[in-house]
Every structure is written in C-alpha cells, then in structure tokens.
Structure 1
C-alpha cells in the first residue's frame, strides 16, 4: 500500500523549517524521524563537505528514502533516537520535522540526542501546537470517534512551551525559543484524493475496520463531506498551528 504523503501535507511548513534549520556547509546533521527523507536530502544539499544521518523507526519510509535521490554523505538508518547509541559529540545540528512527539520517555530521548551533539550544537524542531489550534485534528478526528491524542506520547505532547522547555532543559539544552508557524496542511487536489490519502494512515484504517459495514460507510461519507468543505481550487487544506523550537546543547554533562 502507498504511504501517506507527509511531504505533500507539509508543503507550506517545509520552507519555514528549512530556513529555521539553516544548515551550513561542512556541518554534521542528525535528522530525527526523517520519514521518507525529504528533510535529510535538503540538509545534505546544504551541508556540502559535511554529512547527514537520517533515522526513523518505520522501515517502509526508510525504504522509500533510500530509493530516492542519492546524495554524497547522506545515509539513513533504522533507529529509535530515544535509545540508539549515536557516537558522542558527533553532530553540529539535530533537526526534526514533526518527528519528536512520540517518545515514550521524552527526557531520556532528548538526553540521548544531546549526547550525540557537540557542545553548543543546535537543535531545531517543528512540533504541533495544541489540539484546539489545529483544524485537521478538531474536524477530522471526531468523525471516527477519535480522541484528541492529548498527553505523551502523541502528536501534541510538545505543544505547551512550558512543558517542552522543562523537557529540553532537563535533557541538557539551553537558549530555548519558540516561534509560531501559522500554515495550513494539504491533503490532496480534491476531496476524493484527500480521502484516499488519509486512509493510508494506519490509525484511520484500523478505526474504520473496527466499525460494522454500515457504520464504516457512514464514517467514510462524513469524512468525505468534511474534506469537501475544505476543498478549494488549489486542493484540500486545513488550518494548523505549529512551533519552531530552537535550542543549543549546553555545556553541562548529560
């Protein structure tokens, strides 16, 4: 089955994230939750003379990443960033585009990431703001009777700056900053294509499969109607809010 198109979904977010990351020639970059590798490839093009390692826990995504454009000094690895033994002090920059909200133990995970960074190395994350600030969540998830995925792990686990700052500080980061990103997400050129795209997500397939046939058809029809209400001449878009989180690896041992 085809993968959900995360790169298409985040087409408005990606330029903002790329600019915030500001990858420089010669840098060693760790891309956490790299998915199908778009952000890793962009980092590799910018880090001329350096290196980029993209890690993810989903084999199918990494398989697609490895079959895409081959670039010098770019490698991918199946690894959980919470526990993987990265070489200590190896990287100048760690980046993640919506790939750090699902750690079972976020302090342990970011501590492990901090160990992989040299002193004063940069951390740049893109994470969702709260459930209530994201129309893709408030309008789509209830169609399947889904909850708001609050708490950790979950898509909104780093939504509150106070919580995230405490996590990062405990993990060995300093100079923590939050900048708002107000860009919509994209699901497809029309409502039918958007529905097909969303049903590539295992969560949606599992929830529909749990329903009786008639109830599943009603849920599909309701979801299609929600998507159609957001259809424009330029595709199906939903409002969303995110944070660019930046920090530096502090000089304290971790």
Structure 2
C-alpha cells in the first residue's frame, strides 16, 4: 500500500512539473499573456448552459437590430406625403440658404482683406514717392551746392588773375557758345576786377563783344526775374 502511494505521489509531482514547464514554455514563446489568461478565465467562468444562453441572447439582439434596420430602409423607400415633401424641400432650402450666407460672408471677408491690402499698397506707394522726391531734392541741392562752390571758386580765380588773362578766358567762353556763363562770372565779380577785364577789349571786334557783354550784364538780373515770373505764370495756368 505504501509503495502504491509513493508511485501515485511521484506521478503527481512529475505531471505537476510537466505542467509548470509547459506553462513556462507558453509564456516564453509569447503564446501566453496576462490578457489571454483573463480571456481564458472569462471563457471558463460560466457554465456550458450559461454560455449557450448568452450566445442565444446575443443572436436574438442581433436579429432584432437587423429587423429594425430593414424596417427603417423600407420606411425610407415609401413615398412621402405632401406635408413630408414640403418639410423635406424646406429643409433643403434652409441648407441651401445657409450655404449661400456662408459663401456671401466669406466673399465679403475676402473683399475686405483685398481692400485693406490695396490701401496698404497705396500708402506704401505714396511713402515711396515721397522718399523718391526727397532723395531727388537732396541730390539736386547737393549738385547745386557743389555748382555754387565751383562757381565761387571760378569767380575768385578770375578776380585773382591778370586782366589780360581774364579777358582771354571770357573770349574763350564766348567762342564756346557760353556767353551767358561769361556774363554770370562778370556779374559775380567785384566791379573793379570786371571793369579791368572789359578795359582789355580794344579792337573793334573786341569792343563790339564787350558792348554785348555789358548789355547782357545790364539785363542779367532782369532777364532771370522775368524768366521766373513766366515760369510761375505757366504753373498757375497749368493748375487752372
């Protein structure tokens, strides 16, 4: 009897070890996880009768849902009454009106953005035009300043050279069709220096040239003033 008990105990331990090794193998080979253990427990928890009853209830619920869907499809296929048609058309018109209002709102928003961008562009163009005019005026002022400096320097040189050399410079300017420049130099020079230069014109031809220079010198300031008045009158006429 004792020997039989030992054999049974030994076989039980062997089977238990085999079962444990099998479980370890399932776990290491990724065939067994906590979720699968929970699923297995849920599967074995109810009895066979309970499982069959649950399956039958699920089948009945699915059948009822399918019947409801078929009834809904048949109801939609039935012709609508006049009231239902009017309601359906009103619903479609409301959807259309909402879409139109949305598109109109988006269009107005885009137009406002476009108008705002155009205003900013115009403002930027005006600023650029003002900057361009200011730059041109600055360049013109700088050129005028340099021209004035060069003119003053030329006048000082004419006043410092001997009268005969000053006369030669004036004659050369006249030959180069720069008689107005020669008159401007004579006008800017002091009276004593310009008189000494004109005294060097002694031949008949030189005297005629000196006479013309004196006449132009007499009208020099008056002609410039008349030219400015004419230009001012032209601007007023253009503005009108």
Q: TM-score, normalised by structure 2?
A: 0.22
Structure number with the bigger relative contact order (C-alpha 8 A, sep ≥ 6) is 1
Structure (1 or 2) with the larger CA radius of gyration: 2
Q: Which has the higher helix share?
A: 2
